[in-house]
Amino acid sequence: MWVCGALCRARAPAQLGQRRLPESRRRRPASASFSASAEPSRVRALVYGHHGDPAKVVELKNLELAAVGGSDVHVKMLAAPINPSDINMIQGNYGLLPQLPAVGGNEGVGQVVAVGSSVTGVKPGDWVIPANPGLGTWRTEAVFGEEELITVPSDIPLQCAATLGVNPCTAYRMLVDFERLQPGDSVIQNASNSGVGQAVIQIAAALGLRTINVLRDRPDLQKLTDRLKNLGADHIVTEEGLRKPEMKSFFKDVPQPRLALNCVGGKSSTELLRHLAPGGTMVTYGGMAKQPVIASASQLIFKDLKLRGFWLSQWKKDHSPGHVELGQLLAHQVNNILFKWWKEETLAPGD
């Protein structure tokens, strides 16, 4: 799902009176104030003042666009997706929560309109994405600090640019950080139709890795299977098929995976563990089933399986004294890997 086009067409309801946060509570120089003004500096945004059900707490509001300071960048948002993490953040169930009131949206791509006098890293016309979550991308335009933005190529599909900063980077780091995989090795994953899942398929194909992609059964399974194979998927299996005895014959021809990527939890993650090669690793980066990950004692003792977790925001904090420089390098590295696929395909919404 996408936000920015709808914002441009929407009309904001009656606004609150002018209100500015005290200087001590402003999260960044780019913070906007609520405004009833009809002046040209007004922009539309989806704002929540407290945590709860997004359908009840998110409101379309008019914001006053902040003046562009010396190190600031005026950005017009071009596209912004709606991700599960966006919903979790609004609900208050995420590892990072912005100061309230906040504009929703962690991802998106915008075009630079103007820059401050001391800005050197971006120029008008550049495409930019957030360097870190919590920036608030569900708005028509905003003024951000230069350090909060990463430049991306403007010759990739718009939807790919808008989703480059989180899902593909998550996929890449999980593929390279936990097991020393070589071309020909296998990776198994659930939620294979998710944004991360599709990025895993494409990056793995570029790295010469085989993917075993688990999907929920559905009426349009063949259509989805064809689409994922067009992205580079090697094998597609349903959750039900993964539990069948025939999988033993399957792994006579396909190497047992040394890496499993879990976004679901519950029974689905248990099945991933069951098919991991001895000494393999399962990395959990989501919990869509809202059920715990369960591993048997025998899997840990006799197969020496490893259970790990991954969160891109924490990875950036742990690996870089300069988050923006690292984020820019990572985004460009992933973009280079995926470029040949992105000329033909776009990442679809999550499963």
The distance from CA 292 to its chain's CA centroid, rounded to whole angstroms, is: 22
Residue at token pair 């006053």: 64
- Joined tokens for residue 242: 């993964």
What is the total residue count of the chain?
351
Task: State the first-to-last Cα distance of the chain, in angstroms, to the nearest integer.
Answer: 12
- The whole-angstrom separation of Cα 315 and Cα 136 is 21
Starting at the earlier edge strand, list the strands of the sheet with 141-145.
141-145, 72-79, 109-115, 127-130, 149-152
- Joined tokens for residue 299: 């899997």
- The whole-angstrom separation of Cα 132 and Cα 134 is 7
Burial call 11-25: b when 16+ CB within 10 Å, e when fewer: ebeebeeeeeeeeee
Per the residue annotation, which of 48, 94, 172, 285 is the catalytic one? 94
48 is catalytic: no
β-pair type (109-115, 127-130):
antiparallel
Catalytic residues: 94
